[in-house]
Amino acid sequence: MLIRWLLLFALLFTPAAWAAPTILVFGDSLSANYGLAVESGWVSLLQQRLRQNQYKHHVVNASISGETTAGGLARIGDALAAHKPAIVIVELGANDGLRGLSLQATRDNLDGVIRACRAGKAKVLLVGMRLPPNYGAAYSEGFGMIFPALARKHHTALLPFLLDGIADQRELFQADNLHPTAAAQTAILENVWKHLKPLL
């Protein structure tokens, strides 16, 4: 009997049992430190914020510059299997919009990513994106509606617009006028933190 209890104790109190929960950031160049030092990106700042606030979560950045929702859907299964996250921050769609890809395809791909996360028992923070009006009102408005519609459908947390408070400040963008500078990363973190904190 004693041996049985000792074995049970060993199983319950292995390092794996005490492993910090993982937050998986699953995005594109806006989360992949494009044009920035890794430590200055909002994902690295998020890890610092968690530690400062005594959260044990470990942040894994699985973002890829240039990623589309189709690419994200193709690799979400492997990412979930590798990291077993408690929370997934899904930040995809901007490249679909900039390339004028099918709105239905973008929605379907994001739907698949969210479904996979939920099947893996992970909470989801869906990060919304907006397009400039020069893509046409119908396309831009339809694109913007994808994110709140999916958040309602799946009952996930939603950050309506990653670049809220930043998008209209040209000085906070790199020369390509697409990617925020290091100076903008703290503001992006605040946008994420507001909607992530209730999930922690």
DSSP letters spanning 70-120 = HHHHHHHHHHHHHH--SEEEEE--HHHHHTT--HHHHHHHHHHHHHHHHHT
**Residue 134 — pLDDT band, cuts 50, 70, 90?**
confident
Domains of the chain: 20-64+71-199 (3.40.50.1110)
Residue listed under structure tokens 């999916």: 150
154 neighbors 114 (Cβ within 8 angstroms): yes
**Per-residue pLDDT, 157:** 98
The yes-or-no verdict on residue 26 having pLDDT over 70 is: yes
69 neighbors 127 (Cβ within 8 angstroms): no
Phi and psi for 123 in degrees, rounded to 5? -75, 150
Cβ-Cβ contacts under 8 Å for 34 (sequence gap 6 or more): 65, 174, 179
**Per-residue pLDDT, 71:** 98
| R_g of the chain, CA atoms, integer Å | 18
DSSP annotation of 173 reads B
> Who wins on pLDDT, 14 or 93?
93
182 neighbors 36 (Cβ within 8 angstroms): yes
**Residue 135 — pLDDT band, cuts 50, 70, 90?**
confident
The yes-or-no verdict on residue 38 having pLDDT over 70 is: yes
Q: Rounded distance, CA 185 to CA 103, Å?
A: 28
**Per-residue pLDDT, 10:** 43
**Per-residue pLDDT, 7:** 44
Question: Which tokens go with 90?
Answer: 């899904």
Q: Region 133-141: what's the mean pLDDT?
A: 91
**Per-residue pLDDT, 18:** 53
**Residue 132 — pLDDT band, cuts 50, 70, 90?**
confident
The yes-or-no verdict on residue 180 having pLDDT over 90 is: yes
Q: Would you name the residues annotated as active-site residues? A: 29, 176, 179
**Per-residue pLDDT, 9:** 41
Q: Region 160-173: what's the mean pLDDT?
A: 97
Q: Rounded distance, CA 178 to CA 78, Å?
A: 29
Q: What is the overall mean pLDDT for the chain?
A: 92
